[in-house]
Amino acid sequence: MAVRVETGGGPDRMAVVRRAGLLAVGALLAAVPAAAQRAPAPPRHPNIVILLADDWGFSDVGSFGAGYATPNIDALAKAGVRFSNFHAAGSCSPTRAMLQTGVMNHRAGLGNMPETIPDAHRGKPGYDTVMNHSVVTIAQMLKAAGYRTYLTGKWHLGSDATRLPEARGYDRAFSLADAGADNFDQRPIEGMYDKANWTDNGKPGKLPKDYYSSRFVVQTMIDYIEADRASGKPFLASVNFLANHIPVQAPDSDIARYAGLYRDGWTALREARARRAAALGIVPAGAPMVTMATTRDWKALDADERRAATRTMQAYAGMATAMDREIGRLVAHLKASGDYDNTIFVFLSDNGPEPLDPYNRLRNRLFLGMEYDTSIANIGRRHSFSAIGPGWASAAASPLSGYKFSATEGGLRVPLIIAWPGHPRVRAGAISDGLAHVTDIVPTLTELAGVPAHGGTWEGRRVEPLAGRSLVPMLAGAAGSVHGDTPIGYELSGNAALFRGDYKLVRNLPPTGDGRWQLFDIRTDPGETRDLSRTMPDRFTAMRADYAAFAKANGVLEMPAGYTADDQINLYAWRKQGRKRAIQAALVLGGALVAISALGWLLIRRRRARRVDQAKADVIGA
């Protein structure tokens, strides 16, 4: 349509010009199909940041009851949902496999870990001790949907070329294949590993001179995100901290921050945390709790024992605060880059707090004393080897019972925070007390991201189907659990559980338990103080049957008589130490033999030279 406009002066003439312009724009819009006019810009997939803490107990976060500073994690809690009834596995690798895949640990190959598996179970189905090839990772799913995928920090799911992060869907990864390592140096946990098995995109990794674990894994992740920013793709950032795994180590300034705390001991701290957790609404007010048999009487310790224990907890708090500060630095970077509002954050721990005391055996004390500076003044610093032990672990899990390795609530129930700042699908500041499980994270993230989860096939082959359920209804404020009354089974190292609704069937082997099955209402009694097996016999019997079905379907093996995870770890370490000492002895012996051989050769040459000289002298004399 042609529009003729006459120009000239005067208001009337200008009105005609404006009217003609509007008619022209209308004509152009009329020429565009109506559907195209209405079509909005395609939605951008959200970024995803997974923040995985190592060995943090249920109340080891400020917003769950901790007394030390975690302001940046608490800010995510304020922007998102805290899950107060969330369960992982009792140790790291099984949780990490379920977090990566949404598949139960036995189906993913982590029926046990390399460090804790008894010899009789090695190589049996489901006991690969590495993540098998029958599962698909969250990185593979998101990468197929156009995501950039990155991982930094602890992996512990396999160290061969087919099992490192780069082979499991990650574009870039700087990862540790071991359970833990030193936080200040490129050094392994002495006695457990021969070296710190860090890899940089599949090749041996070299740590920087100013290395500190929490700072390094965050800075490397920031570098990865920025290196590929021009692609315009959303990203998955899996940040896997070494904090607060053994060895407990922190910068001096962070340890000094807590110099005046923890002198009243672990029982006082356990009680204080229980009060704070109840005041925050994380556990029911007045919920009872037990005193664990492995917790020593603080007052019975001598002065040096109390000084050492106090310093260890100060270092533990400092390590947590150092990690929180790095999370804050990552969040600040995402705010500055404009990514924050379109980023889903998931914070969780891989299991409950570490109770093992590496100094509880004389041979361990002798060995560690040769490898580290074990003085009280050096606890938590460079060249130290510190662990909080069962006393402080009981406080870190407060008000729950038990800790890492066991199937107690203190071993399995850990903090979970999911935040999507400002997004209506996540109810900011809410607390959900419905049962949730680590296998639920993958289906939750794929739904929020608008990415299809696989249905049991991947790239033309059958794979393990997802076991978890999306937590999106709970994020939006729905009461109860997405699992309803559906049974959820669990087993690791003979410690086993079956969750169903508000109830938990559980069995713990010595030293944590006595091997008997018990039944608890974990909504009203999260401390597992009242066994209901006799007062609710029908439920107890039904849940025993549910567990038997789970164990059969997942190929769960019974543990050898007398097995404990603690003993197995020490056996693993002493085998490694024995091998190390044998190698050292062989090198010393070999060196000695070389030296003896060289000396013998020199003596022979000298003797021959003397004979030659004597022969020459005889000739001259003749």
pLDDT along the chain (622 residues), means of 10: 37 41 42 43 83 98 97 98 98 98 98 94 96 98 98 98 97 98 98 95 97 98 98 98 98 97 98 98 95 93 98 98 98 98 98 95 93 98 98 98 97 98 95 98 98 94 98 97 98 97 96 94 98 98 98 96 86 70 46 55 64 53 48
Catalytic residue among 106, 156, 423, 437: 156
| Residues 145, 468, 242, 400, Cα dihedral to 10° | 160
Q: Is 245 a catalytic residue?
A: no
pTM: 0.87
Q: Is 156 a catalytic residue?
A: yes
What is the predicted pLDDT for the residue at 597? 59
* Tokens 């009105």 -> residue: 15
What is the predicted pLDDT for the residue at 31? 44
- Domain ranges for the chain: 1-35, 47-482, 570-616
Contact 505, 547 (CB under 8 A): yes
Encode 321-352: b = buried (16+ Cβ within 10 Å), e = exposed. bbbbbbbbbbbebbeeeebbebbbbbbbbbbb
CATH topology assigned to domain 47-482: Alkaline Phosphatase, subunit A (3.40.720)
What is the predicted pLDDT for the residue at 611? 63
Q: Which of 530, 506, 477, 503 is nearest to 83 (CA)?
A: 477
What is the predicted pLDDT for the residue at 511? 85
What is the predicted pLDDT for the residue at 566? 79
Report the C-alpha gap between 264 and 306 in whole angstroms.
9
Q: Which of 546, 547, 504 is nearest to 529 (CA)?
A: 504
Report the C-alpha gap between 322 and 327 in whole angstroms.
9
What is the predicted pLDDT for the residue at 571? 84
Catalytic residue among 45, 87, 92, 423: 92
What is the predicted pLDDT for the residue at 420? 98
